[in-house]
Structure 1
């Protein structure tokens, strides 16, 4: 009996070299590739207008801070005059009226450190608790927070003044610091951020390892909340730094003025009987006022953007 004929198998290399079908190119060439951004002329124009609207006032402020009082009205507002007086204006700003500008600057820093810093700390604690703990009335707290975000601060200024007047706290720094401690938007932002940034399983693992609630918060949760903390801090710092209406109705003593009220008082000197016009110092002081805010945004921009994006997309 003859042996069966051996079967011939195709080599492995022959199978691996089988031709592959190339995907059909999408219509439109490079512009049709998925994930590639398309340029929008209307959007570019709108962005350019917004950028122009933002930068032109800053350019005007810097240019006019380099002028003397006499050259402010004799030169074009968006270009320099003959004399570059920026450094002399800065020196005069800090020395005018016995250096009261420095006092106003220290007052503003005090309001920011105590008011904005306290508001950030309370927002972090409240947002973490609302995100990671269940308790009766949580839905009601959520409704109150959302309602508080929708209420403008100016609507509460007069009732706040009447309440602080009864307690004898008006015309003191506490009349500005205590209301600044409440930031409904910061609380809501930390609530959303903590819900997405901190895994519940990680907290449970820390508790199983014997960590207490306070230790778990400071060792585990707080480092993960850093981007959100920076974001809330920036919002509260800007709100406290630029706060004008609340100090206006609470503070009457110029020694406790923040920069916003102090510069407004300097600006109003020209309209008073026998008052001195110092518009060059008002403009220079305004320039010095925004420099710390610009520096804070530039230094913390990376954390600020990541904090805003957190919670907007769920994995």
Structure 2
């Protein structure tokens, strides 16, 4: 009797699946039930995250009466999307486009500067041994555990003494400091081979040149991943600009839409919902454009080289 006939039915199925993927052993192939359960869980998770976006898009296509008289997850009697967008872009002197521009400025500057700082700190912690290293690591871990809101009021007094309250620096400087970004960078930088760094030092390269020309290039997926974390965190920042900024000119889009929501003289629900949908588009485009980088970066530090 051949060895194939001795296989049980699940084992045969795994063997057939292994034929489709020859690099994966048959024993590691998931069963049909496991695949089905995994697919059901993934679909449920996708619906959980996409349903609010669908609701937001549907509401922005409606008129005010349709928002009340039609199902919340389906379109109304008439398409009013372009009229709602025009209303958002022109309302209140066109402040929405100004807020969107400042959000791009805050998030973009914080992502660029914060990523360089985080990766530099991660490289130093991963590849150098110096006095006080363990204590600084404890400080970084504590910074990850502390809510950022606890530091907002102390930062306000510091920035007020420096005279930079109600300026873009009051938002960009705190957003560039990311303990979580430093923690990720330490893990990523540990995957850089020490032999490569030593070879560069023997060739006369300085540490700054090694960092910018070798480390950052090798860890480009990791760089994009850290930058996206900082970018999204700054884009969604609410309490910090509320405390640091005065007036409506330099507000980010999140806080600007909040000021519309609190108007007592008129109902601006449609404008707020449409503005929220428009503010999500840059983040979605950024994720889609950089997905091949951050998907690789999420697993780059999983196994040390």
Say which of 171, 175, 191 aligns to 1:176: 171
Measure the CA separation in 2 of the matches of 1:106 and 1:178.
Answer: 18
Q: How far apart are 1:177 and its partner, in Å?
A: 1.2
2:254 maps to 260
Out of 161, 165, 171, the position equivalent to 1:166 is 161
TM-score with structure 2 length normalisation? 0.89
Compared CA separation, residues 207 and 25, structure 1 to 2 (3 A): farther
SS at 1:254 equivalent:
coil
- From 234, 238, 260, give the equivalent of 2:232: 238
Structure 1 residues not aligned, in runs of 5+: 1-20
User: Which of the numbers 257, 262, 266 marks the counterpart of 1:276?
Assistant: 266
Q: Distance in 2 between matches of 1:63 and 1:153?
A: 34
Give 1:229's aligned residue: 223
Q: 1:314 to 1:122 in 2, by over 3 A?
A: closer
Distance change in 2, residues 1:171/1:219 (3 Å): closer
**Following the alignment from structure 2 to structure 1, what is the Cα–Cα distance between the partners of residues 164 and 59?**
39
TM-superposed CA distance for 1:162, in Å, is 2.5
2:289 counterpart of 1:299:
yes
1:131 corresponding residue in structure 2: 126
Secondary structure of the residue aligned to 1:312 is coil
Q: Separation in 1 of the partners of 2:141 and 2:6?
A: 49
Correspondence for 1:201? 195
Equivalent residue number for residue 37 of structure 1: 30
Cα distance per residue 1:168-204 (max 9 Å; x no partner): 32222222111111000001101110111x1110111
- Secondary structure class of the residue paired with 1:96: helix
Calculate the TM-score normalised by the size of structure 1: 0.86
CA deviation string 1:53-90 (max 9, x = no partner): 21110100000111123322222211111211112211
Displacement of 1:31: 4.2
Mapping of 1:179-194 within 5 angstroms?
A: 179-194=174-189
Aligned residues of 1:186 and 1:232 also touching (Cα < 8 A): yes
Q: Distance in 1 between matches of 2:178 and 2:106?
A: 14
Asked if 1 retains the 8 angstrom alpha-carbon contact of 2:120 and 2:211, the reply is no
CA deviation after TM superposition for structure 1 residue 45, in Å: 4.3
1:308 alignment counterpart: 298
- 1:76 is aligned to 71
The answer to whether structure 1 residue 113 and structure 2 residue 98 are counterparts is no
2-structure distance, mates of 1:216, 1:138: 21
Q: Structure 2: state its 5+ residue gaps.
A: 15-25
* Secondary structure in structure 2 of the residue aligned to 1:210: coil
> 1 or 2, which has the higher helix percentage?
2
Whether contact under 8 Å (2:156, 2:165) holds in the other structure is: yes
Which deviations, in whole Å up to 9, do the C-alpha atoms of 1:268-292 show, x marking residues without a partner? 11xx1xx121211111110011111
Q: How many corresponding residue pairs?
A: 290
- Equivalent residue of 1:255, what SS? coil
Partner of 1:214: 208
- RMSD of equivalent CA atoms: 1.9
